[in-house]
Amino acid sequence: MSGRRSRSRQSSGISEDQINDLIIKLQQLLPELRNSRRSDKVSASRVLQETCSYIRNLHREVDDLSERLSELLANTDTAQAALIRSLLTQ
């Protein structure tokens, strides 16, 4: 691994180790790959693939939630009064 650094100079001069570190950090964020933390076994491309699909999932969740919230906000005219009431009862 240390030989790679001198041989393959990336165009911007960033070492592969740095990129690998970043990818490992990314892997620990993903819920899918977090449990099996055998960083050698999971390839970088797999991590990136999971990251893309995870971000798309999160986007979709946010869209669904915002639609739901918009309906809720539109329905309850006195949404603030209702919120305060519910906060008080809790």
Partner 1 sequence: MASLISDTEPPSHLHPTSTDLVRRKKRLSVSSSSASSSLTTGDGDSHARWRSEKQQRNYSAKLIQALRQVRLSSSSAAAATSSPPPTAQKRGKAVREAADRALAVSARGRTLWSRAILSNRIKLKFRKQKRQRPAAIPAVITTGSSSSSSGGRSKKRRVTVAKLNKKSIPTVNRKVRVLGRLVPGCKKESVPVILEEATDYIQALEMQVRAMKSLAELLSGSDLAPQRG
Tokens of 49: 């693939």
| 32 binding partner 1? (CB under 8 A) | no
36 is an interface residue for partner 1 by CB under 8 A: no
What distance separates the 2 farthest-apart alpha carbons in the chain?
67
Angstrom distance (rounded) from CA 42 to CA 30 = 12
Give dist(CA 39, CA 22) in Å, integer. Answer: 12
5 lies in the binding site for partner 1 (CB under 8 A): no
Which one of 17, 36, 37, 82 is in contact with partner 1 (CB under 8 A)? 82
Residue 35 as a binder of partner 1 (CB under 8 A): the answer is no
Helix axes 44-75, 16-29, angle to 10 degrees: 40
Q: List the one residue from 14, 17, 36, 39 that touches partner 1 (CB under 8 A).
A: 14
**Position 32, amino acid:** E
Containing 2, the helix (H) or strand (E) segment is helix 2-7
Contacts to partner 1 from residues 42-81, by CB under 8 A: 44-45, 48-49, 51-52, 54-56, 58-59, 61-63, 65-81
Kindly list the residues in this chain that would bind partner 1 in the complex (CB under 8 A): 12, 14, 18-19, 22-23, 25-26, 28-30, 44-45, 48-49, 51-52, 54-56, 58-59, 61-63, 65-88, 90
